[in-house]
Amino acid sequence: MADEHNPFEAPSANPDMPDDPVEGRLQPVEMEVGAILGRCWELFTANIGLVVGALLIPMVPALAFAGMSVAIQLAMEGASDESMVLVFSLADLAVNLSSALVSLFFQLGVIRIFLNIARGNHAELGMLIGEGRNYLSGIGTSFLTVIAILVGFVLLIIPAIIVGLGLQFALYAVVDRNMSPITAMQESWRLTNGHKGTIFLINLVVALIALGLTCVTLGIGYLLAVPVLALTQAVMYHSLEHLQKDQAY
């Protein structure tokens, strides 16, 4: 019997097929605390292994660098020669810088995974090491964001908070759209325009939940909260994309 496949029929969901990077398979939620946290919990329970793995794997090199830093500091304390103290200090600086650079590399991969999860698209742990093409832009964006926030602190605390909220999704724009640092910062500012108050409230509630669970459970509850709360940025980004869709940069 001849195949009666309809060429106009929408393709079925298949993790091996490319997903629409913006639309995804999940509709965004409202930009309000309950909706965002509710979606995060749903995504976490449906992707527990992936979410936890994406957060735990980058901790391995981070712990290794931390151990190296502690060893260098102990050696520096036992050094009596000033030249050796200088050598150890430079070595510790190099270790900390390397740790930050490696951490950023994995952070870009985590963002990719969480963006796909937030949109309902296919995601896998291999994406942790798939953002090499965006690495230099990620370094530039992180550096410029820190500088911008520091300038805000020089002016006063409130400007720094506003700048931080406005640039909160700059790295997401780098990963999602392969943007340069300046363009990614502009895109983040556009996405957060008119929603900084809501973003601040969500961030505050997230911090209070994490703090409350840590205190009530002597730290154990924090281990459960971190994976759920880590998804809030991706879920907010997904919602803001659609809210600001008609004003694309």
Question: Mean pLDDT across the stretch 115-133?
Answer: 94
Summarised one tens digit per residue, pLDDT across range 105-123 is 999 999 999 999 999 999 9
Evaluate if residue 9 carries a pLDDT over 70: no
Going by pLDDT thresholds of 50, 70 and 90, the confidence category of residue 156 is: confident
Alpha helices by DSSP H, the chain: 33-46, 48-56, 59-77, 82-119, 135-155, 157-166, 170-177, 181-192, 196-216, 220-230, 232-243
Q: Which pLDDT score, from 0 to 100, does residue 99 have?
A: 94
Calpha distance 26→3 (Å, rounded): 31
pLDDT band at 143 (very low <50, low <70, confident <90, very high): very high
List the domain boundaries for the chain: 33-247
pLDDT at position 16 is: 39
**pLDDT at 67 (0 to 100):** 94
- pLDDT of amino acid 247: 54
In a 10 Å sphere around its CB, with 0-12 CB exposed, 13-18 middle and 19+ buried, how is residue 249 labelled? middle
Q: Which residues contact 134 (CB under 8 A, 6 or more apart)?
A: 108, 174, 175, 178
Whole-angstrom distance, CA of residue 160 vs CA of residue 150: 7
Among candidates 151, 171, 165, which has minimal Cα distance to 201? 165
Q: Which of 140, 170, 146 is nearest to 237 (CA)?
A: 170
pLDDT at 101: 95
pLDDT at 182: 95
Q: Per-residue pLDDT tens for 198-221? A: 999 999 998 888 888 778 777 676
